[in-house]
Structure 1
Amino acid sequence: MSLGKYKPKKIEPKWADKWVKDKTYKWTEHKDPEKNYLIDVPPPYPYQDLHAGNFVNSTYQDIMARYKRMRGYSVLHPWGWDCHGLGAELYIQKNFNIFAEKAGVKRFREFCREHLLKNIENIRTNQAIPLGMSIDWDKQYWTMNPDYMKMVQESFIKMHGKDYVYRGKHPVTWCPSCHSAIAEAQMDRKEGKGKLHHIKLPIIGGRGITIATTRPELMAACVAVFVHPEDKRYKDLIGKKVKIPFTGQVVKIKGNEDADPEFGTGAVYHCTFGDKDDWRWVAEYDLPIRIILDESGRFTKKSGLLAGLSIKQGRERIVEELKKKDLYVKSEPVEQSIKVCERCKTPIEIIVKDQWYFATTKLKKEIKEAADKMKWMPSFMKARLTNWVDDALWDWVISRQRYWATPFPVWYCRECNEIIIADKKELPVDPVSVKKKCPKCGGDAKPEKDVMDTWMDSSITAIYVSNWLKNQRKDRLCELRDQGEDIIKTWAYYSIARCVAETGKPPFTEVLINGMLLGTDGKKMSKRRPKAAVYPQEIIDKYSVDVYRQWVGASNPGDAIQIDFKEMDHGKKFLNKLWNLGRFIERFKTKGKSKEEVSDEWIINSLNKVVKEATEFMEQGRWNNALKTVRDFAWHEFADYYIEMIKYRLYGDEVRTKNGAVKTTRKVLLAILKMLSPFTPFITEELYNELYKHESIHLSQWPRPGKVKKDLTGLGELMKEVISEGRQYKVNNQMSLGAELSEITITGPRELEKIKEVIAGTLRADKVKTKSGKELKIKIKK
């Protein structure tokens, strides 16, 4: 069959369907454990279609999967679905108007599952498969399925037995809008301008003290006033007592070296709780706790006149009342950095509540030791993790006050408060549907209604994936983790902590970090901002899947990625060039003996250099450098120079040199196709099957580099320079590139004698004369 016009819209669906039908990428465990290569894939949230940013990540891991297969590894490239979590709940509520509080938890969960199953198949069929992901679709997992939830609950029980999981009443970061605790890693910072309020507090038996605060509404929670012990303004006030307006509690003025004399008035009141430092000071100074905010972010009765008000309303009211009592001195603008919920951007509050925790702070040393053993691509990304580990002061709060998530396998005795953990034989279990008696006192038990943070599911994906191995490795679970930089402090951090604590093994040995894809507004692309999101189909409809994948491959791992239509245009032109190379080479066949010329030796030498460099770049996870190296070679060295150098032989009568050119051309093109195949799987598969073998290029071997000879490299540069001068001469003299020349005289190194025939044939010169000289000089006669 002759290659016709390049039609990606026809080629790409054909191969996408065939790969799935033939199970081309089906994984079989290798007998040698070291030859198995397991990818801990990032399971996407499937409650809505995936945008281009999701598939940047998927394409990165697919490039590695295809490359490793060609390097002789048995690659397990599964696909997971991270089904649970607040995102799915909010999507269901917003788009289907179904709420757990109204429909009932059971029906709400059923609807979530039904919707997700439907959309999972939509994503798989209409997004993942068409994009050419080399997945073994027999190796899928769903975090909402019983087998996965059983594993999560089993892990919880193991960690509880090792004292890595505990329940305690501590201050937690709380989102009033989501009505749930959130982990420290699930918060963002919002920069902006606020007000610094100067408030006079009366001192018992003395003059007042003016404090400065950005949170006047928390006055009812004040338990101390702090000043720097060396601040001359307040030194004599330390130990005196202040009576808080409106609520009347009496608190002491205390010396605290953390109090900044340069901030505001130099005096601050300490409330429970405004931020994380407040808890540290409570412990350090043995202070009482006053909670004045409820779970909805409204003031409780303890706040006095603010009871029932929102935070904003409370701030306005307290300022108004302070002014009436002549206790409000002034306000001044101040730059603020406040913590907000990562998902809904609501400012977080800190409340005291019984929660479940994972003791990540106990594992700091182990997490960093595991990270040190991993290969980070790019290398500087490791510091993002280790810095987060060093700075983490609180344990990971793993309980959520939501509905669509893995339940805790826990009950509490109503009589003696004994914590009752499920037996492993009961798993998976929803404690709400199972009645229990206390094994200690025989009393009735109540079920735990909180659910697990969704990261409790996804932080042990490496364990789930590694369980497909019959022969486990002693030093690791998986090989590769590919993920976005934005979830280093969550997915990478929690995964390493969980897997090391549970198995004693790191979850992976290589970490590839991709930068964030930026939306049309220049910000991180997100499902939460659909108007700024770009979906893969938009790019594919305009270009093709291979163009899309090339654009991803051309990005620099770790850097933010902008939608770049200029690169896509370049990628489209390159694929047309590659296809036309295939069409050209298809025309020539070999028969009989062959003879290689110097141009053949040069291009093979150049190919050896390219294979060596591209392989090194691929091993380092520097796709962009590998792709650029191969594309530049294919387009410029091979197509622009070598093909032009051999046309006189291809169309000539000398059979042996013609055969030599054809064989060399086919050899070089084959290597180019193989090196491009991880990036552009469709066009390379089509050309490989049409020009070489009727089997998958993706199951063939990666090219092996031969020795690079410096003398051939130098000869090649010499040939290119002379040919470029000859071409430019023809252009300047308004001659066609195929026009004949009568004579070319070249002055330069002795090696010119070796390339006379190539120069004459390429530039169509009747005579080529060479002279020895230090500088290269070219004289041309028409």
Structure 2
Amino acid sequence: MSNSYEPQLTEDKFYKIWEERGYFEVDSNKSIQEEGKNFSIMMPPPNVTGRLHIGHALTFTLQDIITRYKRMDGYKTLWQPGTDHAGIATQNVVEKQLLAEGTTKEEIGREAFLKRAWEWKAESAGIMTSQLRKMGVSPAWKRERFTMDDGLQKSVKEAFVHLYNQGLIVRGNYMVNWCTHDGALSDIEVEHEDHDGKFYHIKYPFADGSGFVEVATTRPETYFGDTAVMVHPDDERYKHLIGKKIKLPLLQREVSIIADSHVAMDFGTGVVKVTPAHDQNDYEVGKRHDLEFITVFDEKGILNEYAGEFKGLERLEARDIIMKRLYEEGFVVKIEEHKHQVGHCYRCKNIVEPYISKQWFVRSEVARKSIEKTNNGEAKFFPPHWINSYNSWMGDLRDWCISRQLWWGHQIPVFYCGDCDNEWASLKDEEHTCPKCASKNISQDPDVLDTWFSSALWPFSTLGWGNGDASMDKLFSSQDMKDFYPNSLLITGFDILFFWVARMMMMGESFVGELPFNHIYLHALVRDEHGQKMSKSKGNVIDPLDMVEKYSADILRFTLAISAAQGRDIRMSTDKLEQNRNFTNKLYNAAKFLQMNVDTFPDLKGFCVESPLGRYMLSRLNVATQEVRSCMDEYRFNDAATVLYRFLWNEFCDWGIELSKADKGSIVELGAIFKESMKLLHPFMPFITEYLYHELSGTTLEASESIMIMKYPYKTKVRTKDEARFEIIMDAIISIRRAKVLVDLANQKIEKAYVKIDNISEDEKEMMRPFIARLAKVDVVEFTNEKIPDSVSDISQMCETFIPTQSIDLTPIISKLTKQDEKLQKEIDKLSSMLNNERFVANAPEDVLVKNRELLADASDKQSKVKEQLESLQC
């Protein structure tokens, strides 16, 4: 073996071999598969326009760890990969390309635009998957899907047509979230942010000229669409005005003052404008009071003829111009600073408008059974508190707006007849005649479906559901659906619980009759080392590919896993990566030490471990195996990684390797145990474990089977007697080392040490003696039942140890300790004097008092230990 492990020489090479041999596919582990054990997990399909970020790295690392574990544990395993067409994001990219070329999508037409979008997809789709390969992930790449591949396009049509024919997909004029750039958005595609805006107090004059009411609004540019002014029916200030007419400022149009309990009497002036076409709450008021709905700007946000002289202005740009005119005409009372929440498009960050538009919706009742089944325990959340968030959102669920004013995506499979106004949904790619009147004047709805509609089908569309021309009652015959639906587990970020997870739940239950997942693991965010959210503007973004290049895929994976405590954000830092680089170095050096003594090592299976140290380390491996399996089965990835770290670093390397220097006969056994532990660690660190396993076996991956399809370790026997003996050995070593520190002989070899311990046999003493002598650096270790006079001693948990002092000059040691005692006493006297001074205590800041009390307690504790040492040396 070379002096250090070089991951850049192994990772790409090993990955290529794994993939070429088909190790990631469903039947790769057929030789160890157990009947009836199936495991499936879906890759959250990354956008074809995307690049791997640290959140992706966490999701896919955890998915890969559990998949490798299940594959090695004998499960028929499917990790389904794929990518998402990302409607808005992809269209935006292609539109920008066209603009850079001096043209637009409208100029080149829909067909040419879609051709360009497919070309962009072909160019960019492989970028994310190639980046995932750098992370060492092992999905079934031969089964990779795309949300707009031929089969999934059929699946989407099947789902739409089925819901349409049941009346669960409907079209109508509704108040929707509208982005003037990207069109209609669902509720969860709107990000609400605090905004430093203004409260505009405007005079609305009475039509009879008798005065005015003062109306406060944050959106004066919409007042052209006001069709009422509203007060609370119980507001004594305004009861007498209900029914009175008002003229809108700058306009001659009259509206009435109405009463509605929606008004908050203690907010603003208690008088509010009612703009039913541009406010969600006003929309409901307008329906209750049968008000006119006046839309004052178009789909691009441009004010129309209702805005009079302001026609043609963009809505937000018009605000200051409108207010300047109102001020000039004497309609402005005052303008106040006002912080409030404003909705922004999650894609382009444009301010979103409530807007009445004809759109397609999935009725909220589609989700009813999935909510019931989830709360009946048919799907389990990890951590469990996420079911509360799920229920909170689903309890207020509204109809889901699924139409998008885009060209890239699944075009809505609804056709219209231009002659008889017939409308129908169809599974066909094209319709040529109207089924009602046989007219050929046919057109398809130009909108496409929300990207999340096709993603909501992902757990079963990827398994073949609806991919063919079969009718609905013949869709469930494929073996994949039988083996892998419901999916065993979903792992994703909590931030798409409502975007994606809840929608998969409703669609899976609706079409297959079962919830799509048995278990749902939602991980938290990856933040920087200070707990701040990563962003380019802050300059604190950690690029996972840079970390792979600098450290290795194994180190990044293990760092993410050991930090991934359920329900807690991860604080990522280079310090943690460095710590785990040290871990890989520790493993490598352990293997080097073993190979310095023996060239190759057998597999543990079928090998007889006989030496006391070998039996002890095997017992510790069994304990670790039991704990790792328990943690993995409960998705406690951080706990499993911690167990592995503890066993391999603390127990095997720090103790097992060191103890073997006193028992060379155990080296072969330790090598076999270490090889088995590489299988235990493999799901977390696939590359270095593969490398070290083959190095110690005297083979290469090119010429032999990978450990990734070998059987995962299982617990055999925990040897309590061997464990107890070595606990005594390690306790005695630590105790002697502490005693040596007292006489300044910490790293020096001494002639003799005594170990006082009861109830061990002579054979046990003989077995223990060489280990204690070697690691404690003692020529002679004697066991005793008595205290040894003229010695320094240390009392530990299981024994008491003594170092004779007759041949040790204690004078300089006693002198040094005496000086420490005197120095500490002066410090104690000073602090005590200050804290006993009533004037000081009365006037000093509380934090100063707290600090001084802490210093006094620390000094007293140190002095107590110094005095104990002096007493031990002087007795």
TM-score by length of 2: 0.81
* Alpha-carbon contact 2:739-2:802 (below 8 Å) kept: no
Q: 1:585 aligns with which of 583, 594, 607?
A: 594
Q: 1:341 aligns with which of 341, 345, 369?
A: 345
1:44 aligns with 2:46: yes
Q: Distance in 2 between matches of 1:222 and 1:623?
A: 57
TM-aligned CA deviation for residue 637 of structure 1:
1.5
Q: 2:641 aligns with which of 624, 627, 630?
A: 627
TM-aligned CA deviation for residue 649 of structure 1:
0.8
Q: Distance in 2 between matches of 1:242 and 1:171?
A: 26
Q: Distance in 2 between matches of 1:100 and 1:360?
A: 34
Distance 1:520 1:141, change over 3 A: farther
Q: Distance in 2 between matches of 1:301 and 1:614?
A: 70
TM-aligned CA deviation for residue 401 of structure 1:
0.7
Instruction: Identify the residue that residue 267 of structure 1 maps to in structure 2.
Output: 271
1:721 aligns with 2:731: yes
TM-aligned CA deviation for residue 467 of structure 1:
2.8
* Alpha-carbon contact 1:299-1:309 (below 8 Å) kept: yes
Worse-superposed segment, 72-81 or 377-386: 377-386
TM-aligned CA deviation for residue 597 of structure 1:
5.1
Q: Distance in 2 between matches of 1:112 and 1:340?
A: 26
Q: Distance in 2 between matches of 1:210 and 1:723?
A: 85
Superposed CA deviations along residues 394-436 of structure 1, whole A, max 9, x for unmatched, are 31111111111111122112233221222x3x2xx2x5xx544
Instruction: Identify the residue that residue 653 of structure 1 maps to in structure 2.
Output: none
1:439 aligns with 2:436: yes
Instruction: Identify the residue that residue 6 of structure 2 maps to in structure 1.
Output: 7
TM-aligned CA deviation for residue 48 of structure 1:
4.5
Instruction: Identify the residue that residue 542 of structure 1 maps to in structure 2.
Output: 550
Instruction: Identify the residue that residue 814 of structure 2 maps to in structure 1.
Output: none
1:116 aligns with 2:121: yes
* Alpha-carbon contact 2:772-2:781 (below 8 Å) kept: no
Amino acid at match of 1:353: S
Q: 2:508 aligns with which of 499, 503, 512?
A: 499
Distance 1:418 1:248, change over 3 A: farther
TM-aligned CA deviation for residue 5 of structure 1:
3.4
Q: Distance in 1 between matches of 2:225 and 2:47?
A: 40
Q: 2:68 aligns with which of 63, 66, 83?
A: 66
Instruction: Identify the residue that residue 479 of structure 1 maps to in structure 2.
Output: 488
Worse-superposed segment, 96-105 or 376-385: 96-105
**Cα RMSD for the two superposed structures:** 3.0
Q: Distance in 2 between matches of 1:279 and 1:668?
A: 71
Q: Distance in 2 between matches of 1:307 and 1:164?
A: 39
* Alpha-carbon contact 2:735-2:800 (below 8 Å) kept: no
Distance 1:551 1:94, change over 3 A: farther
1:610 aligns with 2:624: yes
**Corresponding residue SS for 2:652:** helix
1:88 aligns with 2:113: no
Instruction: Identify the residue that residue 233 of structure 1 maps to in structure 2.
Output: 237
Aligned length: 760
**Corresponding residue SS for 1:472:** helix
* Alpha-carbon contact 1:516-1:525 (below 8 Å) kept: no
Q: Distance in 1 between matches of 2:502 and 2:662?
A: 61
Instruction: Identify the residue that residue 76 of structure 1 maps to in structure 2.
Output: 78
TM-aligned CA deviation for residue 341 of structure 1:
0.4
* Alpha-carbon contact 1:158-1:502 (below 8 Å) kept: no
* Alpha-carbon contact 1:203-1:242 (below 8 Å) kept: yes
Amino acid at match of 1:196: F
Amino acid at match of 1:265: T
Q: 2:714 aligns with which of 680, 704, 729?
A: 704
Distance 1:594 1:141, change over 3 A: closer
TM-aligned CA deviation for residue 728 of structure 1:
4.4
Instruction: Identify the residue that residue 672 of structure 1 maps to in structure 2.
Output: 677
* Alpha-carbon contact 1:689-1:695 (below 8 Å) kept: no
Instruction: Identify the residue that residue 20 of structure 1 maps to in structure 2.
Output: 19
**Alignment map for 1:400-549 (pairs within 5 Å):** 400-422=404-426, 424=427, 426=428, 429=429, 431=430, 435-437=432-434, 439-440=436-437, 442=439, 444-467=441-464, 470=479, 472-473=481-482, 476-518=485-527, 533-549=541-557
**Corresponding residue SS for 2:481:** coil
Amino acid at match of 1:50: L
Higher relative contact order (CA 8 A, sep 6+): 1
Distance 1:329 1:278, change over 3 A: same
Superposed CA deviations along residues 742-777 of structure 1, whole A, max 9, x for unmatched, are 322223453597464232343344232132799742
Q: Distance in 2 between matches of 1:515 and 1:594?
A: 45
Q: 1:376 aligns with which of 381, 393, 397?
A: 381
Instruction: Identify the residue that residue 565 of structure 1 maps to in structure 2.
Output: 574
Distance 1:167 1:697, change over 3 A: same
Amino acid at match of 2:710: S
Superposed CA deviations along residues 525-555 of structure 1, whole A, max 9, x for unmatched, are 68x9897654333112211111111122122
TM-aligned CA deviation for residue 13 of structure 1:
1.5
Q: Distance in 1 between matches of 2:510 and 2:35?
A: 23
Distance 1:47 1:33, change over 3 A: farther
Instruction: Identify the residue that residue 133 of structure 2 maps to in structure 1.
Output: 129
Instruction: Identify the residue that residue 827 of structure 2 maps to in structure 1.
Output: none
Distance 1:337 1:594, change over 3 A: closer
Amino acid at match of 1:444: N
Superposed CA deviations along residues 498-520 of structure 1, whole A, max 9, x for unmatched, are 22222222122121222233479
Query: Which ranges of structure 2 fall in alignment gaps of 5 or more residues?
Result: 466-477, 788-794, 808-875
Q: 1:212 aligns with which of 208, 213, 216?
A: 216
1:644 aligns with 2:658: yes
Distance 1:128 1:417, change over 3 A: same
**Corresponding residue SS for 1:412:** strand
* Alpha-carbon contact 1:485-1:558 (below 8 Å) kept: no
1:778 aligns with 2:801: yes
Q: Distance in 1 between matches of 2:49 and 2:514?
A: 32
TM-score by length of 1: 0.90
Distance 1:33 1:221, change over 3 A: farther
Distance 1:380 1:751, change over 3 A: farther
Instruction: Identify the residue that residue 100 of structure 1 maps to in structure 2.
Output: 105
Query: Which ranges of structure 1 fall in alignment gaps of 5 or more residues?
Result: 651-657
Q: Distance in 1 between matches of 2:523 and 2:656?
A: 36
**Corresponding residue SS for 1:466:** coil
Worse-superposed segment, 152-161 or 128-137: 128-137
**Corresponding residue SS for 1:724:** helix
Worse-superposed segment, 438-447 or 148-157: 438-447
Amino acid at match of 1:189: H
1:354 aligns with 2:354: no
Tell which structure's C-alpha radius of gyration is larger: 2
Q: Distance in 1 between matches of 2:440 and 2:534?
A: 52
Instruction: Identify the residue that residue 58 of structure 2 maps to in structure 1.
Output: 56
TM-aligned CA deviation for residue 580 of structure 1:
1.2
Q: Distance in 1 between matches of 2:784 and 2:611?
A: 19
* Alpha-carbon contact 2:736-2:802 (below 8 Å) kept: no
Distance 1:630 1:749, change over 3 A: farther
Instruction: Identify the residue that residue 654 of structure 1 maps to in structure 2.
Output: none
Superposed CA deviations along residues 113-135 of structure 1, whole A, max 9, x for unmatched, are 1222122234434x222321112
Q: Distance in 2 between matches of 1:643 and 1:731?
A: 24
1:194 aligns with 2:183: no
Distance 1:471 1:313, change over 3 A: closer
* Alpha-carbon contact 2:326-2:332 (below 8 Å) kept: yes
**Corresponding residue SS for 2:563:** coil
Amino acid at match of 2:75: Y
Worse-superposed segment, 11-20 or 693-702: 693-702
**Corresponding residue SS for 1:198:** strand
Amino acid at match of 2:84: D
Instruction: Identify the residue that residue 775 of structure 2 maps to in structure 1.
Output: 762
* Alpha-carbon contact 1:40-1:479 (below 8 Å) kept: no
Q: Distance in 2 between matches of 1:323 and 1:498?
A: 53
Q: Distance in 2 between matches of 1:95 and 1:523?
A: 34
Superposed CA deviations along residues 184-222 of structure 1, whole A, max 9, x for unmatched, are 111101112111111221234454221211111111111
**Corresponding residue SS for 1:262:** coil
What percent of counterpart residues are identical? 27
Instruction: Identify the residue that residue 366 of structure 1 maps to in structure 2.
Output: 370
Amino acid at match of 1:642: G
Q: Distance in 2 between matches of 1:595 and 1:59?
A: 35
TM-aligned CA deviation for residue 8 of structure 1:
0.9
